[in-house]
A = this chain, B = another copy of it.
């Protein structure tokens, strides 16, 4: 705003005050650095100053910080009348892999994957039986391509159907030591990932008690028994 003679007229009036209260410039630089880093939007000098203690010179601190970052991996750039931290343009190629577009797996794929993980080695027919619908080629292809499943050995039954198993890449992705570490049904239920079956006959709703933060009544714990 006021170029290289910051707040010239302001300092006239408040010189004494600011002399004593303003933090050293190195400290102001730290503040600006932290704010620019954490902010989702570019910040103007005025916005920076508004958050800093009285007597600070945000514009000056930005300039100092900008010089400090010259030649580094990131730079302080001007965006309109605001400031932001951006990676150096010559390093843009490093960011390319950053832009992986993540999509959620389709429900069919995740269910198929879950069945393979829990039942491996498992045949196509068995997967279809559990899901109750035919297994599309696209689903299998996708999971094969992701390297999350692979063909296992053939089942020694008529037709010698091929089986599917999960891969090491699958275990790595899901942070599992082995497929045997997948929680069982009881544990899923205990963790609240599974609606508990309504108790036969009784119309009571045990779930309501269980969600209360206090001790659930004893009866509830039986549902959780491993």
Identify the A interface with B (CB < 8 A). 29-35, 37-40, 50-52, 71-74, 85, 87-88, 91, 94-98, 106-109, 124-125, 133-141, 144, 150-154, 159, 161-162, 175, 177, 180-181, 183-184, 187, 190-193, 207, 210-216, 218, 220-221, 224, 226
Contacts and interface: CB of A to CB of B under 8 A. Distances in A.
Looking at A34, A50, A94, A211, the one whose CB has the most chain B CB atoms below 10 A away is A34
B192 A137 contact: yes
A124 B30 CA distance: 45
Given A34-B94, A183-B151, A213-B136, A73 B221 contact: no
A226 B154 contact: no
A152 to B, nearest CB: 8
A117 B175 CA distance: 18
Contacts of A85: 37
A95 to B, nearest CB: 5
Contact of A192 (B30, B106, B134, B141): B141
Cβ-closest 9 pairs across A and B: A33-B73, A137-B192, A30-B73, A34-B73, A141-B192, A34-B87, A34-B91, A133-B215, A138-B211
A30 B88 contact: yes
Contact of A162 (B32, B50, B107, B183): B183
A32 B73 contact: yes
A34 B74 contact: yes
A127 to B, nearest CB: 11
16 contacts: A31-B73, A33-B73, A34-B74, A34-B95, A35-B73, A37-B73, A38-B98, A39-B97, A50-B97, A108-B214, A125-B226, A134-B221, A137-B190, A144-B191, A162-B181, A162-B187
Nearest to A89: B34
Given A87-B34, A91-B30, A134-B215, A191 B141 contact: yes
A211 B73 contact: no
Contacts of A215: 133-134
Nearest to A151: B183
